[in-house]
Amino acid sequence: MAFKFRLQSVLIFRTSLEEQAQFAMAREQRVLEEHHQRLGRLRDARQEMMADLEQRKQGAMTASLYGVYVEGLLVKEREIVSQIDAVEGQQRVVESCRQELARRMQDREVMERLKEKDHRLFVADALQREQKQSDEQAILRYGKGRL
């Protein structure tokens, strides 16, 4: 008789939930990385704009052009602040996914331990039945020899 775990369908379901949580976490981590990259690009653009402004200030520069640069820098600064908020929000989402994945992993591990325990009990029971059969055969053989 082969071992059959009575809660195999629950184990399969919990494994599936864990895999879904892994995919969700990977997806959210990719989004976080994209947010970080965008933040880096915004900072680089602001730095380039500041360098360009400094270079133009070395020569003749009209007040209106200077105003355009200042306004552009303010816009970049607001975009950076907004992107920082997006990064922080996404970090919270990733942490939430990480916690969900840990919970799903624990749920699956509980089922795995239960399966291992059931298997050990199954093996012990099979050995006990085999020993009982062997003992009965020995008793029967011993009894036949005495008659």
pLDDT in tens, 57-73: 888 888 888 899 899 99
Percent of the chain with pLDDT over 90: 78
Structure-model confidence comparison of residues 142 and 92, the more confident one: 92
Q: What value does the mean pLDDT take over residues 93-111?
A: 97
Least confident window among 12-21, 48-57, 113-122: 48-57
Q: How far is CA 116 from CA 10, 19, 112, 123, in A?
A: 14, 21, 6, 11
In the prediction, which pLDDT does 36 show? 98
In the prediction, which pLDDT does 145 show? 63
69, burial (CB in 10 Å: exposed 0-12, middle 13-18, buried 19+): middle
Cα Rg of the chain (Å, integer): 34
Q: State the helix-helix crossing angle for 8-58 and 63-146, rounded to 10 degrees.
A: 160
Backbone angles phi, psi at 2, to 5 degrees: -90, 150
Q: 8-109: which CATH number, 3.40.30.10, 3.40.50.150, 1.10.287.1700, 1.10.287.3510?
A: 1.10.287.1700
For the chain, domain boundaries: 8-109
* Residue 3 DSSP SS3: coil
Confidence band (pLDDT; 50, 70, 90) for 92? very high
In the prediction, which pLDDT does 147 show? 55
Q: How much is the pTM?
A: 0.76
